[in-house]
Amino acid sequence: MGSEIEKEREEEEEDIVCLDESFFVNDDYQLTSFTFGSNVLELYCLQSASTDFDLTGQLVWPGAMLMNGYLSDNADILQGCSVLEFGSGVGITGVLCSKFCRKVVFTDHNDEVLKILKKNIELHEHSSGLDPSAELEAAKLEWGNSDHLGEILQKHSDGFDLILGADICFQQSSVPLLFDSVEQLLRMRGHGNCKFILAYVSRARQMDSAILREGSLHGMLMNEVPGTRCTVGNLEGVIFEITLK
């Protein structure tokens, strides 16, 4: 009887497949060109997603294209500004901003994504289109993590002129944490001295409601920028300018 049990255990163990975390990571990055108005950007990114949902930042998402098109057409709002970007991913929006801004802090919560983000920042730090005095930095920021945000604010104690987020609303549970962090940054500068520009892509009605609800709960005005509602891919996208009430 005992030998039969041991044999069954051995067979069960043979069926167990142990996968190293690297199995889920696709790092086959390709240097890809993107054009926004007169601005041509080259970045390393994936052409298809990793098997890990948490690595969505390795791709360039539709909302980033929407955001960059808007910023390229309205580059005057970036001129000489300091910017913090939530969920930077491979950095396509922050890199565009670096052509006009005096400071860009790129953030992401995923360590694997931060690696390719830093690589793309290095790629552009010495490019001809970048202001040589521009300050570029990548920082880890998990929404709602007071330690992460505290470290950034300690280093950049004067705050930021603009906060950006492009196609970053995927999980409804993370939206309150996002708006918690945004509110801290807006209040640091005070009323009228900082705004949050969100390129939002609608994928679910619950999420549509969630961002409007959280904005209101956090004492913010959610202003849809006229003329920005459009189709990106096969989804509807829009730009919001968000300020304190």
Domains in the chain: ranges and CATH: 21-244 (3.40.50.150)
- Tokens coding 105: 């802090």
Nearest to residue 57, comparing CAs of 107, 5, 95? 107
Q: What is the mean pLDDT of residues 108-117?
A: 92
pLDDT at 134: 84
Strands 235-244 and 195-202: antiparallel
Nearest to residue 211, comparing CAs of 25, 189, 151, 203? 203
Is the distance from CB of 144 to CB of 41 less than 8 angstroms?
no
Radius of gyration for the chain, computed over Cα atoms and rounded to the nearest angstrom: 21
pLDDT digits (tens, 9 = 90+) for 124-178: 887 766 667 789 999 999 999 999 999 999 999 999 999 999 999 988 999 999 9
pTM for this entry: 0.85
Outline where 32-84 has alpha helix (H). 62-73
- Residue 54 parent element (H or E): none
Q: What is the mean pLDDT of residues 204-230?
A: 97
pLDDT at 121: 94
CB proximity list for 215: less than 8 A, separation 6 or greater = 179, 221, 222, 242
Say how far residue 152 (Cα) sits from the centre of its chain.
Answer: 16
Instruction: Determine the Cα–Cα distance for residues 203 and 61; give it in Å rounded to an integer.
Output: 13
Instruction: Determine the Cα–Cα distance for residues 175 and 235; give it in Å rounded to an integer.
Output: 20
- Tokens coding 152: 């950034």
